[in-house]
Structure 1
């Protein structure tokens, strides 16, 4: 298994970084009406073909693989990207109806993520989403939301709106069996968490170069340097496992679920702990609403619950078997 990124993969990562930093910079989250993927952003992402990144060429996609999928959503995570960017890409993969897939590929309609909420269901994504995608390890189902009543709920992460679905969504208009959509969702979510962890490290490293106390840059003090080193180590461990999981998916290894679960768990930890350490090392400014530090932590807390939380992942990893 070859784990180093090749030139084409690096070009995808660089293109995604440049595009997303311009189309949805993290600073947008300090403005009103910033949540979710609005129609303009959805259309721009569709025009650039990002929703079709891993869709086979025969179906109108780019025909790329899990590695490119992870690279794109890592950059989306750096900008605290909304969950429905990933949901739209997953819905495209889950949809077998040619006409409906074309609508989703064009960004004409949005898709919200449907997740369990006790005995009910919760929607994560733009209020104007026409469809909802529910993904489990057994398969994925796409529902039409026309006429469905929802109740808005306050969301912790400003990048994502949250609503409760007042009644079951009805019959699925598209569905697919098997773990593939779940695995692509788990990989994409882990990659976004890695992006958050790396962004938190970048923030504090830059701050440590300019902030002074007692006549010295704070980066000169071990009380700052050592936590930064821990942050870098957590990000490197998570990144290594994520690339391995993406490569395992590309090669269709029998133990791909194990490596995905390990990657998601490590990315959960790296994002949460790095975001928290970033706030602490920034001092007083780190807890202000005007700073980006709290945005990273809130988004990490949300993504950590999607496609495998701590307890579920560890319970699966205990009994997992690695392929020889």
Structure 2
């Protein structure tokens, strides 16, 4: 890939889209708050998606960050649970073969620890918590850790609170690699979500009528849709460049990932909000999916780089020529 997916990369994206539309359709989020089930985890593991970015020597697929981004872009389109990303990152840590096999297969689950490790995002039946920072990562066994359920704005993401994380790590990784892969995955999810919001309002504008005309014929609808498309194109282009930079081991890959995450944050939140506004009152009803995109975007925008730290990093960043 140069600046856009091609060849087998498109095939992987198409395969992921087909699989995820069946395994975790966004319709699952209506009604009672869903849990990220063990059955879903096993299904994803059986298909080998957790092993995308893991080397073949470690029983992985041996694919690159590009394919990793393509998969999580499709996860984002379905408001996929954060667990899927946490599980895919956890297998990158240094651990014994048995523990890694359990994670790859989905037999054991992983949640993401955020907010100084005091919030757990993901399925309550997970055995491990992944604590990731730009300097290193730890996989912690939750064991007897007491966790209290907390209301979550995002129905795709169950949340629990704990008073402290376990201190003993069952697996670790030094350096920023796991953080950067997490940043790439979340940015891709946000872009998939921004694309889905754009697709939804464009389809609606073609059929919804007011005063005897399709609403897509009005500038007040066409212009916001054009802004949405522009945001998607800018963020998506930066994502492909960042993924390629990471794949090729460029020294400025971190700079491009920070930029990709910032643009993805903006695109997803703004597009999801505009999608609701152009749908009118129906966009916030339980029966509709527009509000689900916004709720998921607001959560993802806080993970692996929010606005202030990203802009602080980019202020004095140096990109290679």
TM-score (normalizing by structure 2): 0.98
Correspondence for 1:311 among 308, 313, 316: 308
Aligned-partner Cα distance in 1 for 2:46–2:145 = 29
1:86-125 equivalence runs, <5 A: 86-117=85-116, 121-125=118-122
Q: Who is 1:146 aligned against?
A: 143
Correspondence for 1:280 among 263, 272, 277: 277
Aligned-partner Cα distance in 1 for 2:223–2:26 = 27
1:33-112 equivalence runs, <5 A: 33-35=33-35, 37-112=36-111
TM-score (normalizing by structure 1): 0.97
Contact 2:112 2:130 (C-alpha < 8 Å) held by counterparts: yes
Q: Who is 1:27 aligned against?
A: 27
CA distances 1:75-134 after superposition (whole Å, capped 9, x unpaired): 0000000001000000011142211001101100100001125xx611001011000000
CA distances 1:22-77 after superposition (whole Å, capped 9, x unpaired): 10000100032523x21110000000000001110111111000000000000000
Q: Who is 1:218 aligned against?
A: 215
CA RMSD of aligned residues (A): 1.0
Aligned-partner Cα distance in 1 for 2:166–2:287 = 38
Residues 1:207 and 2:217 are matched in the alignment: no
Q: CA deviation at 1:166?
A: 2.4
Contact 1:151 1:166 (C-alpha < 8 Å) held by counterparts: no
CA distances 1:159-216 after superposition (whole Å, capped 9, x unpaired): 0011111233121111010110000000000000001100000010000011000000
Q: Mind listing any 5+ residue stretches in structure 2 that lack a counterpart?
A: none
Contact 2:52 2:68 (C-alpha < 8 Å) held by counterparts: yes
Aligned-partner Cα distance in 2 for 1:288–1:96 = 45
Aligned-partner Cα distance in 1 for 2:267–2:3 = 21
Aligned-partner Cα distance in 2 for 1:287–1:137 = 36
Q: Who is 1:2 aligned against?
A: 2
Q: Give the ranges of 4+ consecutive aligned residues of structure 1 lying more than 4 Å apart after TM superposition.
A: none
Q: Who is 2:128 aligned against?
A: 131
Aligned-partner Cα distance in 2 for 1:151–1:31 = 22
Aligned length: 321
Q: Mind listing any 5+ residue stretches in structure 1 that lack a counterpart?
A: none
Aligned-partner Cα distance in 1 for 2:10–2:251 = 27
Q: CA deviation at 1:290?
A: 1.1
State the secondary structure of the residue aligned to 2:92: helix
